Every structure is written in structure tokens, then in C-alpha cells.
Amino acid sequence: MANVDQIRAILAAELRRKLSDTPKKPFMRFANYEFEWELKRAGDSVTVPISPKITLTDVSASNDGDIRATSIADISASDRNVGYSTLTVNKLHQYREKFSDLEEIQTLYSIRGERLNDLLNGMDTAVESSIISMLDAWFDSYGSGSNIISESTLTVANVAEKIMALRTKLSEHEVPMENRILVVSPAVSAIIAQAGIVAGTEVAADSAVEWWLGKFAGFSIFESNLILKGDLYAFRAKAYNYVRQLFKAKVVEAEAGMYYNLLGQIAHGGKVFDQNAEQLWKMEVSGLNPTPTETPTETPTETPTPTN
């Protein structure tokens, strides 16, 4: 039995190891985990100072345009107005499964078993969905939705134009071209595929991520089946922070019955800090039309050949 009972010792460690692996789902993949190991428990918080963007003042006209005189004069100091923002671990997802004996757990949850992968995927899905919800709430609240572009219809004919509009927004706010990400719903992904705008060249680092589509307009484009509407999320990698903590994973014998419980919990939370606000944009589309509108052509009517 000692050989079978090793699942108790290695399950939590294996889950913790896999949790630290590079995530495969797109929103998890491109989050900033800078504070992950500073926050140890659900409810923990970290406060981050927020400094304003640096803007240089044009003083060319000072001293009647005498650049030399102005260059050696004292420079007026800018007020930094440092603020603060808080990231809190405020989400908790849990799971319980009952087994008749340890041997059954060992069979299903062997370290290379599919059941272990199912548990990991369940945890990843919970975190990925929470990141999307966190971003949606931030988009709605920040600047009264100022980082949201609303469109009535997305079609094969105009999808390239709409993606370029997101690219323009990032460029107007001086977001670097490197590591720009676009995550879309399956319905939008279908329109992109039909439009044929995505380059076929794959980048090795991105090809390991689930639902990698390709590159267009400076974006690496991914599909997420957790986006249920016709939304497009454009951002620079690590523009939002997230924290995942494996809170508990263990096998315990039931006190009131002849069975074992496999228990799992994961605590997590995220935040878009104010200094990164210009790096995230969202396009909300009311309607999707995957096929371009075509003018129907009339089929010529043939005159029947008379028979004798």
C-alpha cells in the first residue's frame, strides 16, 4: 500500500510545479506575474506607486527665442503627483472529487495521466476566465469606457480595417510595437481566417500557445474560446498584472464514510495599474457577418428548343 499512497506526497508538488510552468492560454500567457510570490494567501494585497507619464515642456520661445540663454537657465520642476494602486488576491476556486480507495486515485491521477491534466486545465480555465472578467470590468470603468471602440458590424471585407484601428490607437499613445497582442473570440477568428489577412509564418515562442493564429498589423493574434461575444482585445504583453497561488491540493480520508476526497483550491487576483492604461484597448462589435455581401446575379433564362 505504501507504493500506492505516494500519490498523497507527489500530487500537490506536481500541481505546484505545473502551475509555475509557462501558461498555454493566451490571457494567462501574457499577464505580468511580477508580484506572484509576494502574495502568499487569499486576501493578501500589494500597493504599487503610480507615477505620471513624463512629458517634456517646449521652451523654445523663452528669452525671445534665445536657445543658448534658455539652455543655461534653471529648469522648472514638474510635480510628480505620485499615486498608489492595490492588487489583491480576491478570487478563490475550489474542487472536490470522491474516490473509493487510494488505488483509484493513483490510476486516474498518475503524474502522466489525463485526469491530472483535466484538473490543471480546470484551474487554468478558472484563472483565464477571471482575467477576462477583470479586464472587462476595468475597460467599463476606466475613463468611462474611453479605451473601448464600438463597432456595429465586423465582416470579411472590413476586418483588416478594424484591426488597423486598434493598431492606430496603440501607436497614438506611443505603445512600443514589440509584443503587441490581439486576442479574439472564435467567431471573430473565423472572419479573420476567411479574410486571409493573417501571415502564415509562425514564431516558435508563440506557436506553443493555444489558438495561435498568426501575425497581422504588428499583432500576434490568438483565439480564446472563453470570449463569448464579438470582442477583440488589443494590448502589449504584461500590460496587466496577475497573481496565482496554489492554495491547497491534497488527498484525505473521509471521516464519515469509506472513501477518499481529492481537494483542490486556487486563490488568485489581478489588476490593471494606471500607468499601463494606455497599453490596453478593446473593440466591441455588435454584429458579425462572416460572409461578404454579394449582389445576386440573374441566371439567364434559356429558350427551349422547339421539337418537331
What DSSP element (H or E) covers 2? none
The residue type found at 66 is D
d(CA 201, CA 180): 16
For 51, residues 6+ apart whose C-beta sits below 8 A from its C-beta are 80, 82, 275
CB count, 10 Å around CB of 115? 14
* Per-residue pLDDT tens listing for the chain (308 residues): 444 566 666 777 777 777 667 677 999 999 998 887 666 655 677 776 666 667 777 888 888 888 888 888 888 777 666 667 788 888 888 888 888 887 777 777 776 667 777 888 888 899 999 999 999 999 999 988 899 999 999 999 999 999 999 999 999 999 999 999 999 999 999 999 899 888 655 554 455 566 788 899 999 999 999 997 889 999 999 999 998 876 667 788 888 888 888 888 888 899 998 889 999 999 999 988 765 544 444 444 555 555 54
Q: Which three cell numbers stand for residue 83?
A: 499615486
CB count, 10 Å around CB of 264? 21
d(CA 284, CA 286): 7
DSSP 143: G
What DSSP element (H or E) covers 195? helix 186-195
Q: Report whether 48 contacts 84 (CB < 8 A).
A: yes
Which residues are paired to 252 by β-bridges? Answer: 261
Q: Which three cell numbers stand for residue 261?
A: 476526497
Could you tell me which of 153, 208, 216 has the C-alpha nearest to residue 180?
A: 216
Q: Report whether 176 contacts 236 (CB < 8 A).
A: yes
* Residues 6-51+84-289, CATH architecture: Alpha-Beta Complex (3.90)
d(CA 225, CA 184): 9
What is the per-residue pLDDT for 81? 67
d(CA 306, CA 304): 6
Structural domain boundaries of the chain? 6-51+84-289
